[in-house]
Amino acid sequence: MRNEFELTILYDVVTKGAVVLWHDQMKMLGPFENQKQAVSAAEDYARLRGWMPSNCAPDASGLNTKH
């Protein structure tokens, strides 16, 4: 069984873009003002597609209410 929490985010300092690798898919986002914005946008992108950080567990309703 694959790890549903596995997400890779790469930040390119030249283009100021982020590359999101998740579920055998790649998405390029950006450019952004800085690395923090790029990582935040990449995490938001993944969350909208069902990713949940490993330190957050769903509540009884099945929704992640901690983030």
Mean pLDDT, residues 35-49: 96
Gyration radius (Cα) of the chain, Å: 13
12 phi/psi in degrees, rounded to 5? -100, 115
Report the predicted TM-score, pTM, of the whole model to 2 decimal places: 0.73
Predicted confidence at residue 58, as pLDDT, reads 59
Of 33, 29, 31, 4, the closest CA to residue 19 belongs to 29
Q: How far is CA 51 from CA 12, 34, 46, in A?
A: 22, 23, 5
pLDDT above 90: residue 53: no
pLDDT above 80: residue 60: no
When the pLDDT of each residue in the chain is averaged and rounded to a whole number, the result is: 84
